Amino acid sequence: MVTSGSPIRVDVTPRDAFERRPRLFAALEAAFPVKFQVGNADADAAIVFVTPAGGSELVSRPTLTLLGEHETHQSIAAVAFSDSSSVPRPFRGQTLTDSSAGQRLPSTYDDWGTALATSQAGPIWMARDREFVAGSRPEELGPRGTLREQLTAGRFMGLLPLAHFLRELSIAASWEQPQSTACFVFDDPNLHWWSYGYLDYRELAAHAEAHDYRVTAATIPLDQWYIHRATARFLREGQSRVSFAVHGNNHTRHELDRFDDPDRASGLAAEALKRSSAVRRAGAEIGPVMVPPHGACSVAMLEGCLRAGFDAICAEWPYWWLDEADASSPLAGWHPLDRIVGLPVIPRLHVVASDRDDMPFRAFLGQPLVLYAHHTDLKGGLDLLAERADEVRALGVDSWRSLGNIAPDVFSAYRFGENMEFTLYSQRTRIAVPEGVSRARFVCIGGKPSETALRLELRDAAGQREIAPGEAVEVGSGEIIATVVATPSAAPTRGGWPVRGAVRRLLTETRDRAAPVSNRIQARASRRLAANAHRVGP
Ligand SMILES: [Zn+2]
């Protein structure tokens, strides 16, 4: 975060270790309210790079010691985290594989403190009061490298001890990060009937209640010409754990990634929102979050969604669906929510196909844990969702929300005296300003849209006003609502009824709805075959 005042001063020694990692330390200064200095004995905390031969200094301030000699480093492989309360909550008790280079701590540390992480050779990360020591080191970022590359499934021991150290210092100095939230997302279901393929709304709602999770169905705006009133009523009356979001517009091939003009893209995005409003009118909950069909969305379409009034899109990280140039910033994938050309992105993982070992890292960074699926993933029943809900809870995440409720109110805050700095990750953020704070800055992260202007509006007891991002403004204690407004805003394009799209969609829906039936017929046929085989057998 880009703080204007009073960042935490962190001494780095030796100078050489600092100077060999300029991009890494610059990215960390942008990620945390810290300022790195070399050789400042008065700094608030210290990071010491030493070789095992060098003795550790007597410490009087929070200190992270990073041991290592590159020649003796090996791949760490399996890392087992302990249950200690000094281990960040998402990692407690987890075992993860790691390819970072490092080594076990020398035996002089054997009785030194609490082991936080252990490899097969011995402890690699330990803590004692405000002191930490690790047997691995972060690497300098490549020219287009990101911090997140060193804090992810398969590669984390180089950076995790340092990121955790800076995070703890920041929290101790008043920094607040959002808590991770969770949701299941199903692509494609509509409200034409009680069920959609293997997904049955009544079963799902009861199961979600029993296992304490929430589900959002990403529904196709084209499908909203008809809504089965009884299903919508059921979802409304049960205060249902099942809600909706927006899935493309017509769900045609490359629908959201073929646009390169924000004006035309915004017409489509506005039409998608307008058609989707039928779900709300029927009484079910639908949030203004775009879930792109097939996971792909162009930059122009992100800008279109911004203008149409979407709160976020929900798509996969790493951003394989974006050109590298659009996605690259040293902090891409690091924030609670990234913004790409101004629009917040809620990252998601496939319920089966993705590497779920990345979930602890998302939880550590305060990112939502969104697991998506298709109705066919429920072929084996709903147990899959119960298992995944347990996995999410094991990371210390138990705030399940609809996708529409995950998007707003995500921000971080840092206070120094009467001043506060808020980093806004959402388009709409409700903030409680504490007593004693009189000035605040509001900052938005990420790249700006090319052809859309973003304004920042504050609404508090005194009324509504527009402010410039980053500008220090007078505030009173109490509630403030900060809203990012895009101009020009978008109006729906007046298109005719897309006959071909509708026919194609109807064929797909017929296939999806027939899937459980044909599966039952197949199962019955194979049972009959087996029975016959048995009968004619010996
Ligand atoms: Zn789809």
Tens digit of each residue's pLDDT (9 = 90 or more) over 283-301: 999 999 999 999 999 999 9
The yes-or-no verdict on residue 414 having pLDDT over 80 is yes
What pLDDT was estimated at residue 83?
97
d(CA 291, ligand 1 centre) in Å: 9
d(CA 294, ligand 1 centre) in Å: 6
With cut-offs at 50, 70 and 90, classify the pLDDT of residue 538. Answer: very low
What pLDDT was estimated at residue 327?
67
Mean pLDDT check: name the lowest of 14-23, 251-260, 296-305, 500-509: 500-509
d(CA 212, ligand 1 centre) in Å: 26
With cut-offs at 50, 70 and 90, classify the pLDDT of residue 223. Answer: very high
What pLDDT was estimated at residue 529?
58
What pLDDT was estimated at residue 379?
96
- Strands (E) in 268-364, as ranges, are 286-290, 312-316, 338-340, 343-350
What pLDDT was estimated at residue 222?
95
What residues does each domain of the chain span?
8-172, 182-406, 411-487
What pLDDT was estimated at residue 328?
74
Question: Helix, strand, coil: what percent of the chain each, to 5?
Answer: 30, 30, 40
d(CA 248, ligand 1 centre) in Å: 8
d(CA 247, ligand 1 centre) in Å: 7
Number of helical (H) and strand (E) elements in the chain, helices listed first: 12, 27
The yes-or-no verdict on residue 145 having pLDDT over 80 is yes
d(CA 271, ligand 1 centre) in Å: 18
With cut-offs at 50, 70 and 90, classify the pLDDT of residue 537. Answer: very low
Spatial distance between the Cα atoms of 332 and 447, rounded to a whole number of angstroms: 10
* Rounded average pLDDT over 448-455: 89
Q: Tokens 């109705």 — which residue? A: 375
CB 269 within 8 A of CB 298: no
pLDDT digits (tens, 9 = 90+) for 452-503: 999 999 999 989 999 999 999 999 999 999 999 999 888 887 666 677 777 7
* Rounded average pLDDT over 54-64: 73
With cut-offs at 50, 70 and 90, classify the pLDDT of residue 446. Answer: confident
Task: Name the more confident of 437 and 519.
Answer: 437
pLDDT digits (tens, 9 = 90+) for 77-92: 899 999 999 999 999 9
Beta bridge partners of 126: 115, 133
| The CATH fold of domain 8-172 | Rossmann fold (3.40.50)
DSSP three-state, residue 522: helix
CB 340 within 8 A of CB 373: no
d(CA 456, ligand 1 centre) in Å: 33
Mean pLDDT check: name the lowest of 151-155, 212-216, 363-367, 534-538: 534-538
The yes-or-no verdict on residue 104 having pLDDT over 50 is yes
Task: Name the more confident of 145 and 517.
Answer: 145
Burial 64-91 (b: 16+ CB within 10 A, else e): bbbbbeeeebeebeebebbeeebbbebb
Residue 163, C-beta contacts closer than 8 angstroms, at least 6 positions apart: 28, 147, 151, 364
The CATH classification number of 182-406 equals 3.20.20.370
Task: Name the more confident of 462 and 269.
Answer: 269
Sheet holding 34-38, edge to edge: 34-38, 8-13, 45-50, 63-67, 131-134, 122-128, 114-119, 74-81, 95-102
Beta bridge partners of 423: 412, 443
d(CA 241, ligand 1 centre) in Å: 21
* Structure tokens belonging to residue 513: 């709805």
d(CA 90, ligand 1 centre) in Å: 31
What pLDDT was estimated at residue 492?
81
d(CA 293, ligand 1 centre) in Å: 5
d(CA 484, ligand 1 centre) in Å: 29
d(CA 15, ligand 1 centre) in Å: 53
What pLDDT was estimated at residue 516?
85
Percent of the chain with pLDDT over 70: 92
d(CA 235, ligand 1 centre) in Å: 22
